[in-house]
Amino acid sequence: MRVLLVAHDESIAEPLVGGLADYGIVAEHVTSGAAALAARPADLVLLDAGLPDIDGIQARRRTDDIPLIMLTAPGDDAERILGTALGADDYLPKPVVVRELVDRMRAVGRPPVRACGPLTIDVRTHEVRVHKIPISLSPKEYDLLALLADVPGAVVARRQILDRVWGPRFAGPGRTLDFHVASLRRKLGDPGWIENRRGVGFRLAVPA
């Protein structure tokens, strides 16, 4: 994913660029709306609502149909009104927690309900159902399932799962992922929901 970060404050931009890189996300940083207008196409725009020059952003939003997340001051209604005018898809208060931002970025622009056979995941409410029956998951179990559901049928590497669900600096027990996979299979009611590719990773599949 390529992200365009529009922020004039280096104290905001620098840690964000570095933090996003830990998750494999490339962020191009520009400091003005005019520079944003001239920047290369991106998959998503992060906009600091405190930017003094938003003309370029307004112009870009008229021509680009890409997600926009506003970084706002806590409780600042004026910045939310600005975001609404620009057609923001989501808001996140500063100071930004990178992990939360990454989760928001992944959710924006995707269908709110993902389906894989009889399994449905509502990313707005974190509700998971199998054959319309609600399934109660822990936060990590939900994050793991949602990640696999991003690319149903594709194998996701173990290291990638650990980086995205537990964070790139996770150094916990080596069997943590296997424990959560086993628990998730049990709660989904069929081990066939999550297939293991030994030495590679896991994939989500509809049980036979």
Q: Which of 54, 77, 107 is the last residue of a domain?
A: 107
Strand partners, 27: 3
75 vs 42: CA distance, rounded Å: 28
CATH of the domain at 44: 3.40.50.2300
Q: pLDDT value at position 82?
A: 63
Last residue of a domain, one of 107, 129, 148: 107
Last residue of a domain, one of 67, 87, 107: 107
> What is d(CA 95, CA 188) in angstroms, rounded to the nearest whole number?
37
pLDDT at 86: 67
125 in the same domain as 36: no
The CB density around residue 89, as the number of other CB atoms within 10 Å, is 18
pLDDT for 91 equals 84
Claim to verify: residue 7 and residue 102 sit in the same structural domain: yes
Q: Which residue has the tokens 């173990």?
A: 158
Residues 126 and 187 in one domain: yes
Dist CA 19 CA 106 (whole Å): 15
| 10 and 94 in a common domain | yes
Per the structure, the complete domain to which residue 78 belongs is given by 2-107
Question: Do both 103 and 135 map to the same domain?
Answer: no
- From first to last of its 208 residues, the chain has per-residue pLDDT tens of 789 999 988 988 999 999 999 888 899 999 988 888 888 888 888 988 877 777 556 655 554 678 889 888 776 566 566 666 667 788 888 889 898 898 888 878 677 788 899 999 988 788 999 999 999 999 999 999 999 998 788 999 998 899 888 887 787 777 999 999 999 999 999 999 999 998 899 999 999 8
One domain, residues 20 and 68: yes
Beta bridge partners of 28: 4
29 torsion bin: left (phi>0), alpha (psi -120 to 50), beta (else): beta
Per-residue 3-state assignment (H helix, E strand, C coil) for 157-196: EHHHHHHHHHCCCCCCCCCHHHHHHHHHHHHHCCHHHEEE
Q: How many domains does the chain have?
A: 2
Identify whether residues 81 and 168 lie together within a single domain.
no
> Both 60 and 40 in a single domain?
yes
β-bridge pairing 156-157 and 26-30:
unpaired
Claim to verify: residue 85 and residue 119 sit in the same structural domain: no
Nearest-angstrom CA–CA distance, 6 and 23: 19
